[in-house]
Amino acid sequence: MLERIKKDLDLSNLLERKDRVVVAVSGGPDSMALLHALKELELEYQLSLIIAHANHQLRGEESERDEAFVIQMARSLGIEYVVKKLPIRVKHSMIQAEARRFRYQFFEEVRQKYKAQKIATGHNADDQVETVLFRILRGTGSMGLVGIRPKRGPIIRPLLSLWRSEILDYLQNRSLPYVVDRTNLKSIYRRNELRHQWIPELERLSEGRFRKALWDLAASRQKSEEEWEERIEKEWNQRVKQTDKEIIFQVKELRVLEKELVVRFFHRAYQDWMGGDKGLYRPHYEALGKLLLTSNPSAQVSLPRGLCALRRYGELLFSLEKERPQKMGPVTLPVPGEIAFQNKNRIITQLQTQHPSDGFGISSNRAYFDWNTIQGPLTLRSRQPGDRIQPLGLSGKKKVKEILIEAKVPSSNRDRVPILECSKGILWVVGHRIDDRFKVTLSTKTFLSIQIDLPLLK
């Protein structure tokens, strides 16, 4: 087994001489085989090993037993170790996903602390088969058939070509101890159900060929996917704008590209945000495809783990979902006077009888009205269903929603646009249009000036 591991290490360029490696050790057979194999290769590859063990405290005394076992093993081998308790506080259906996320965050913290080059995990060939089959059942595309990769970033899987039975033989032949997670023997998780029920039956029906066939499929898809990734790497910077808050594609550009390339752009966007591809399956890609082709300029799609893909007219962007902004007001404005709004925005109203120096120019944050046409108190509020205005220069009324759409205000920001009204109706869709009924004319004697600080409009 050791010779096969060495072959895979060199063939896939998993390790370099003098690498410092964080070894993820749960205490189970796979991680113990990995640990002892790397220990045997330590001198030949001039490795420096650090053991990392995450205790999720999900199995009571058994979890504490595993932690104590790993510490004892680290000390007996003379290897530095880091142990951390990472309790999970989510509903049952999300435990495995959250535990995995916490573990990898922890492993990366250890890697950075010790300035290690690699993180080694004990995934084996059976894990590969289970992963690919699970993705097929969930509805994967060709990318999902890649399964677990031997290397992704600093993470390496030296045992990926070895079957679980071979690993157990290696441990038995060397009389190496390990602990058993009894939950892995129960079908309480879907992956365990695949492992203990589905795969043995499929192996029987295929006369012992199923596991090898699925493993070979994943290996062949990995080679094909590497070619795609080279192309994505070349085109990403040319076609994609990336900020701290958004990843932005141009709709026109995506629509003329081949489907497989577009799917991989979406895959890359999700990876860049979430640090992995777990949770993104065919239904998500189909929804993203519809989002790309829709004529709705502000449509959006929710993706796993709080990510959102949305249209912003000619753009399609990925960002974290935000809570809908709270509706503002209504706030009554003093005339004349000044008021602080939402603790950070100033609104100033003035009455004057002389023509202003800027000649009644309307800007995004200032407007002028004929005071004698206004009745009742001035109120500032958010838009409401059915709001209408008679835009300056027009005889008929128009929905405020239509005005905001024409101005290409994203749907997520429309409730943030202030509406100024009096008892006779809406005077101003702030930053956009004023109502013709309240405009300044040659006969205007008293002018109402309203200025709203720009932060309110952002």
For residue 227, being part of any structural domain is answered with no
Tell me whether residue 450 is exposed, middle or buried, using C-beta atoms within 10 angstroms of its C-beta: 0 to 12, 13 to 18, 19 or more: buried
What's the pLDDT tens digit per position in 81-90? 999 998 877 6
Residue closest to 46 by CA, chosen among 11, 15, 92: 15
Q: Assign residue 52 the CATH number of its domain.
A: 3.40.50.620
Residue closest to 284 by CA, chosen among 141, 96, 411: 141
Q: Are residues 61 and 206 in the same domain?
A: yes
For residue 52, being part of any structural domain is answered with yes
Q: Are residues 274 and 345 in the same domain?
A: no
Domain range enclosing 279: 243-320
Domain end (from 320, 343, 377): 320
DSSP 176-195: ------GGGGSTTSHHHHII
Q: Are residues 335 and 403 in the same domain?
A: yes
Q: Are residues 412 and 266 in the same domain?
A: no
Q: How far apart are CA 92 and CA 183, in angstroms?
A: 14
pLDDT tens digit at each of 458 positions of the chain = 899 999 999 988 999 999 999 999 999 999 999 999 999 999 999 999 999 999 998 888 999 999 999 999 999 999 999 999 988 776 555 677 778 888 999 999 999 999 999 999 999 999 999 999 998 888 777 888 889 999 988 999 999 999 999 999 999 999 999 999 887 777 667 788 899 899 999 999 999 999 999 999 999 988 888 888 888 888 888 899 988 778 999 999 999 999 989 998 998 888 777 655 566 788 888 999 999 999 888 888 888 877 889 998 899 999 876 545 566 768 889 999 888 766 567 888 999 888 766 666 567 788 999 999 999 899 999 899 899 999 998 989 999 999 988 888 877 678 888 999 999 999 999 989 999 999 998 889 999 999 887 554 44
Rg of the chain over CA atoms, in angstroms? 31
Residue closest to 121 by CA, chosen among 248, 1, 222, 23: 23
- Residue 387's contacts (CB-CB under 8 Å, 6 or more residues apart) are 399, 400, 401, 419, 426
DSSP state, residue 444: -
Counted domains in the chain: 3
What's the pLDDT tens digit per position in 152-201? 889 999 999 999 999 999 999 999 999 998 877 776 677 888 998 999 99
Coil, strand or helix at 331: strand
Amino acid at 13: N
418 DSSP β-pair partners: none
Domain end (from 287, 320, 353): 320
Q: Are residues 298 and 359 in the same domain?
A: no
Q: Cβ–Cβ contacts within 10 Å for residue 361, how many?
A: 10
For residue 161, being part of any structural domain is answered with yes
Whole-model pTM?
Answer: 0.64
- Residue 86's contacts (CB-CB under 8 Å, 6 or more residues apart) are 54, 55, 56, 57, 99, 102, 103, 106
Segment (H or E) for 22: strand 20-24
For residue 27, being part of any structural domain is answered with yes
Residue closest to 267 by CA, chosen among 309, 219, 227: 309
Q: Are residues 66 and 166 in the same domain?
A: yes
Residue 454 confidence (pLDDT): 54
Domain end (from 286, 320, 354): 320
Q: Are residues 55 and 176 in the same domain?
A: yes
CB 249 within 8 A of CB 178: no
For residue 172, being part of any structural domain is answered with yes
Q: Assign residue 305 the CATH number of its domain.
A: 3.30.465.60
For residue 222, being part of any structural domain is answered with no
Q: Cβ–Cβ contacts within 10 Å for residue 266, how many?
A: 23
For residue 224, being part of any structural domain is answered with no
Q: How far apart are CA 436 and CA 422, in angstroms?
A: 14
Q: Are residues 434 and 347 in the same domain?
A: yes
End-to-end CA distance of the chain: 62
Count Cβ neighbours within 10 Å for each residue of 34-49 and write b for 16 or more, e otherwise.
bbbbbeebeeebebbb
Q: Are residues 30 and 161 in the same domain?
A: yes
CB 121 within 8 A of CB 108: no
388 DSSP β-pair partners: 399
DSSP 207-272: TS-HHHHHHHHHHHHHHHHHHHHHHHHHHHHHH-EE-SS-EEEEHHHHHTS-HHHHHHHHHHHHHH
Q: How far apart are CA 343 and CA 69, in angstroms?
A: 57
Q: Are residues 69 and 143 in the same domain?
A: yes
For residue 261, being part of any structural domain is answered with yes
Q: Are residues 282 and 335 in the same domain?
A: no
Residue 271 confidence (pLDDT): 78
In this structure, are strands 331-333 and 378-381 parallel, antiparallel, or unpaired? antiparallel
Q: Are residues 163 and 284 in the same domain?
A: no
